[in-house]
Amino acid sequence: MLTIRNLKCWYGGIEALSGVTLSVGQGELVALIGANGSGKSTLLQAVCGLLPGWKGEISFEKVPLNKKKPQDIVAGGICMVPEGRLVFGPLSVLDNLKLGAYLRYRKRDHYGIKKDLDKIFSLFPILAQRSGQHAGTLSGGEQQMLSIGRALMARPKLLLLDEPSMGLAPLVARLIFDTLAELREDGLTILIVEQNARAALMIADRGYVLETGRMVLAGKAKELLADEEIKRAYLGKDYARFTEGRA
Amino acid sequence: MPEFYQYLFSGLTNGAIYAIIALGFSMLFAATDLINFAHGEFVMIGALILVTLWPVMGLPLPLAFVITVLATGILGIVFERLAIRTVKKPDPIVLVIITVGAGIFLRGVAMIIWGKTAKGAPPFSKMPPLEIGGAYLLAQSVWILGIVLATVLVMHFFYSRTLTGKAMSACAINKRAASLLGIATQRMTLLAFAVSAALGGMAGVIIAPITMNEYEMGAILGLKGFCAAMLGGLGNSWGAVVGGFALGIAEAMAVGYVSSSMKDAVAFLLLLLILYVRPTGILGGKAIARF
Ligand SMILES: Nc1ncnc2c1ncn2[C@@H]1O[C@H](COP(=O)(O)OP(=O)(O)OP(=O)(O)O)[C@@H](O)[C@H]1O
Ligand SMILES: [Mg+2]
């Protein structure tokens, strides 16, 4: 569904991605992990059209995304939950969600929007309770739910998430991961970028490991979870404790 | 007491004009982080276009009003396209200097088109002034207050009820997040320029009958509007309205009770005071509260 081949990106003269290859198939949940500054966000931004001037190939449903503007990419069915959530603080929770459906309002899909709004509210009941509140007054976890809900309102075919668990309490983070697993069960294709490698790989089908702009490992999520090298570098020692109580 | 009312009426009238000019500054700043120092020139051009269309060419007033506002709005779009979007490295300081330059350019063009002599316009209606508490309220003042209040309500409706208005707020809050939702942020910037310039043009229209209209009138009006926007909190729409009226009334009181030479000094004294006491303005700046 999403194919990235030999992607190179630069900030000024500095190469942030040096030839990265990655693919996401229809209905898959793929995790991209890597340390700080390895280029994970850069990759997502290139896909979303926020980083013009990349070289290589990015195509979605066989359509190349070169030179496409962010709004065209969203219209094509890719939505991103950005790093740091970026909800519109001074606007209400409901307005944030409605803006997620901006392009669909333009197409006058009012009935579908209403239905999806109800779906988001049943996915994250807290958002229904807070719908009139300014988004800026929500807690970090609630803002993350809002940010995901807002992206889903566009009814994407492919959902990109940039560190959705960042700064969240473990319980809230798990709720987010469980929700993502649920969405995937419903058929959504997901590419998730995470520092919390373990949690991401637990729900993923496949995983990629990025290191200073290069893809160093790729494989089935289960295999990556078992990989000694990865355990040492990304999973840490409290591996067993975290998985307690999960299947 | 009658003097007080007289000063108050004059303050409200000028305040309404400052408010609408400040609103133009503020909404553009909220959307683009840019202070447009050519904004006053849109007021001047609005006033001069109205004078040409209505008293000189004899078009009906409502038609002349609408054409003027549309024309200044379009001029705002041309301004963005030609002077702002074409900048290769859009550093804030570069853009601000471009707006200053554009202001000088527009003044020059206006001088060539309309000449140096000031032109007057009759009041919108020939009604006699209203007498309230021994003071007189000009019919034109009633028009000005009414039109400004109606405009504020329309803008409020636009921002709080329409999808485009909310999308524009979203762009103002975070361009990157807005573009990730499929909002065409460049279009929103263009729209912000159009609306801001049209607000300036409208200020020119309503002020035309109570001032002498000439190519240099925009500079001081722009500065007053800028002061009002800063007073209320730059980027805050209600702040622009509050700041405009506060400045208008303070100015009128100072002129009435102290000396008429105070008129232009008041704006800058108030501005210094607010920057010292409460740098974000009366209602706080961008992103704290909008319409
Ligand atoms: N706007 C920018 N200007 C210059 N360099 C940048 C910019 N954004 C990122 N970089 C650099 O590009 C590299 C990759 O950054 P990126 O944000 O993609 O990393 P990341 O994997 O998302 O890290 P994190 O886990 O901290 O979010 C880093 O070395 C970073 O310093
Ligand atoms: Mg990142």
What pLDDT sits at residue A236?
Answer: 61
* Domain-located, residue B78: yes
The ipTM assigned to this model is: 0.90
What pLDDT sits at residue A238?
Answer: 47
* Domain-located, residue B125: no
Q: What is the pLDDT of residues A87-107, one digit of tens each?
A: 999 999 999 999 999 999 999
Q: Name the stretches of chain A with pLDDT < 70.
A: 235-247
Instruction: Chain A: give the shortest CA distance to residue B135, in Å.
Output: 43
Q: Decide if B162 touches A, using CB distance below 8 A.
A: no
Pocket of ligand 1 from Cβ distances under 6 Å? A 11, 16, 34, 36-42, 83, 195
Q: Decide if A100 touches B, using CB distance below 8 A.
A: yes
* Domain-located, residue B127: no
The rounded distance, in Å, linking the Cα atoms of A25 and A18 is 23
Q: Name the stretches of chain B with pLDDT < 70.
A: 285-291
β A214-220/B130-132 pair status: unpaired
What pLDDT sits at residue A244?
Answer: 47
Residue boundaries of the structural domains of chain A: 1-77+158-247, 85-155
Measuring CA to CA, how many Å separate B99 from each of A94, A103, B79, B87, B233? 37, 33, 9, 12, 21
Range of the domain at B176: 2-118+133-277
Overall domain count for chain B: 1
CATH of the domain at B176: 1.10.3470
Q: What is the pLDDT of residues A185-231, one digit of tens each?
A: 999 999 999 988 999 999 999 999 999 999 999 999 999 998 877 77
Instruction: Chain A: give the shortest CA distance to residue B89, in Å.
Output: 13
The rounded distance, in Å, linking the Cα atoms of B167 and B3 is 46
Q: What is the pLDDT of residues B137-184, one digit of tens each?
A: 999 999 999 999 999 999 999 999 999 999 999 998 999 999 999 999
Closest CA to B224 of B194, B282, B259, B269: B269
What pLDDT sits at residue B284?
Answer: 75
What pLDDT sits at residue B283?
Answer: 81
One of 3.40.50.300, 3.30.70.1150, 3.40.50.2300, 3.90.190.20 is the CATH number of A1-77+158-247, namely 3.40.50.300
Contact call for residues A41 and A201 (beta carbons, < 8 A): no
* Domain-located, residue B237: yes
**Alpha helix (H) ranges present in chain B?**
2-32, 39-51, 61-79, 92-114, 139-161, 163-173, 175-179, 185-207, 217-232, 237-257, 263-277
What pLDDT sits at residue B291?
Answer: 54
* Domain-located, residue B128: no
Of the listed ligands, the closest to the CA of A209 is 1
> Following DSSP, what letter does each residue of A71-130 receive, concatenated?
HHHHHTTEEEE-TT----TTSBHHHHHHHHTHHHHHTT-HHHHHHHHHHHHHHSHHHHHT
Contact call for residues B222 and B21 (beta carbons, < 8 A): yes
**Which of the listed residues A7, A8, A20, A40 should we mutate to test ligand 1's pocket, taking the one with most ligand atoms within 8 A of CB?**
A40
